[in-house]
Structure 1
C-alpha cells in the first residue's frame, strides 16, 4: 500500500470565459475540498472496492510504465448507475485516497472546443477532472441536433449556442493535448450509459467502467457500521439480507433509514424503518409489474380486435364480389 501525503485539497469549477481577460487564474474558481468520504466508509461490494483501489495504486505508481509504453500518464473512469448509488461519493473517496484536487467541469457553460482546451490546459497535475451526468451536460452524441445548449458568456450579447463537439472533447482527453501534464484522472458519470456514444467511453479513454448498482447486503453492513458501529443483529439482519436481495434500493435510501430522526430513536427502530421501506418498495414494484402486464394485455387485445375487424371486412367484401 502506498502512502499519500495529506494536504489541503481544492475543489475547482470553471468560470464563464467573459472573466478570463482579468487573470489566467480566473478560468477556475476554487474552495477547500473537505468531503469526508473514504473507501472504508463507501457502501459497495468489498471485492469491487478492492479492484478500484488496486487500479488507483497501479496508476499512482505507474509513471515509468506509462513512459515505457508511450502513453500519457492519465486514466479514465466511467461511473454509471441509477441516482443515489454513490457516484459522487466515489469521486470524493478517490480524491481523498489519491490526495488529488478535483476539477468539476461544467460543459454547458463552455463556448467552444478552444475554450474547453484552454480550461483543461489550466488544470494541475495530480488532479481529477470530473464531468458529471455527461449524457445531460451537452449534445455529445450528434443525435439531438434540434436541441440548443446556450452559454451566457457575455453580458452584452446574451446567450450563444455552445459549440463543444464530441470530437473536440475526445481530442482534449485522448488527443495530443492530453499529454500536456501528467498524473491526471478523468471521470465521467451518467445515469444512462446506453445514451453515450461508444467512441466516448471505449477502453483506452474510459479505462475502467464502474457500475454503481443498488445496495447489496455487504454494502448495507458497511452502512450499518458507519451509522451505528454495529456489525450484526440476530433478529433483523437476516430479514434485511433476504429482502435486499429481492428488492432494488439505493445506498442513499438505506442510509436515510439508518439515520435517526429523533434523539430517542435507536438502532433497532432504524432497522425496522428500513424493513418497512423495503416492504413498501416491494409493493410498489409488484404494482408496477402488474400494471405493465395489464397494459401489454390491453395492447394485445387491441391488436387482436384490429385483426378480427380486418378479417370480417375482407369476408364482407368477398361476398359483395
Structure 2
C-alpha cells in the first residue's frame, strides 16, 4: 500500500476511535464508512484484515445476495456487536439496487431496496450501536449508485491499485527481509509499464526464501507477462487491419 495513503488511513482510524464525545456532542452515530475499490488482487481483503487487527475489532461479512428484505437487514445490524467492522462485499456485482423493490410483492419492507440499504448505512437504524465501521468493497466504483458514495455513507474512498515500484520494495522487505538488490532496477522498470497486482508479486516472492532465486523468478515472470501483452496487442492490431481490408 502507498505509504502516504497508509498513514492517512491510520490517522483516520485513530481519530475515529478517540472521538466518542465528539460524535455524541454533534448528534451523529459513532460510525465510519470506507470504500475500498480497485482491480481484483490489489489487497482490499488484506487491508480489511489489517484494519481489524489494528483496531482489535470484530469483522462481520455481509453478502447482500443472501438478504431478502429490509427488515432482515435491520435484524442483522442490531445483532452485530460494538467495536466491529461490517464488510459489504463486491456490491457492484452482488446485487442491483434501485429505488424500486428487488422482487414482486407490494410491501417495501418485504424486499431489499436501495432506500433500505441507505437507511441501514446512515439512517436511524445505523445508530443502533457504537464504534462501528462499514466497509464497502468493489472492483468497479463507477458501477455504484451515486447515493451510496456521498460522505456520511462512504466517508473515505481508498483506491487499491496495481503494484508500484515503492509497493514492490515494501513486499520485498516483508517477504524476503531485504531493502535493496541488484535485480530491483530491472523489476521496477517492468512495473512501470505493466499492470501487475500485489497478489501476483507476493505469489512469486513466496516461491523461495532465497532472495536471489525469488527475485530472479519474479523478473522472469514479469518478462513473460510483458511478452504476452505485446503478443496480445499485436494480435488485436492484426485483427483490426483484417477488418479494415474487408
Counterpart selection for 2:2 from 35, 39, 45: 45
Counterpart selection for 2:191 from 208, 232, 244: 244
SS of 2:80's equivalent?
coil
- 1:259 aligns with 206
In 1, are the aligned partners of 2:175 and 2:206 still within 8 Å (CA)? yes
Change (3 A) 1:297 1:65: farther
1:76 lines up with 2:33 in the alignment: yes
Give the 5 Å matches for 1:1-321: 44-141=1-98, 163-233=111-181, 235-260=182-207, 266-298=210-242
RCO comparison, higher one (Cα < 8 Å, 6+)? 2
CA distance in 2, matches of 1:196, 1:243: 33
Q: CA deviation at 1:77?
A: 0.4
CA distance in 2, matches of 1:73, 1:281: 46
Q: CA deviation at 1:300?
A: 5.1
CA distance in 2, matches of 1:297, 1:204: 51
The two structures have a TM-score, normalised by structure 2, of 0.90
- 2:107 aligns with none
Between structures 1 and 2, the one with greater helix share? 2
CA distance in 2, matches of 1:287, 1:204: 46
- 1:8 aligns with none
Larger Rg: 1
CA distance in 1, matches of 2:242, 2:30: 57
In 2, are the aligned partners of 1:124 and 1:181 still within 8 Å (CA)? yes
CA distance in 2, matches of 1:57, 1:258: 32
Change (3 A) 1:290 1:72: same
CA distance in 2, matches of 1:296, 1:74: 52
Alignment gaps of 5+ in structure 2: 104-109
Q: CA deviation at 1:86?
A: 0.5
Per mean C-alpha deviation after superposition, the further-off stretch among 275-284 and 93-102 is: 275-284
Q: CA deviation at 1:63?
A: 1.4
Number of residues paired by the alignment? 239
CA distance in 1, matches of 2:157, 2:82: 23
Change (3 A) 1:225 1:111: same
Q: CA deviation at 1:295?
A: 4.2
Alignment gaps of 5+ in structure 1: 1-43, 149-161, 303-321
CA distance in 1, matches of 2:55, 2:222: 36
- 1:15 aligns with none
Give per-residue Cα distances to partners, 1:212-270, cap 9 Å, x unaligned: 1001111111111111111111x201111211111111011001110125xxx621111
Give per-residue Cα distances to partners, 1:293-312, cap 9 Å, x unaligned: 3444455556xxxxxxxxxx
In 2, are the aligned partners of 1:141 and 1:196 still within 8 Å (CA)? no
The two structures have a TM-score, normalised by structure 1, of 0.70
Change (3 A) 1:73 1:299: farther
Change (3 A) 1:74 1:278: same
Q: CA deviation at 1:209?
A: 0.5
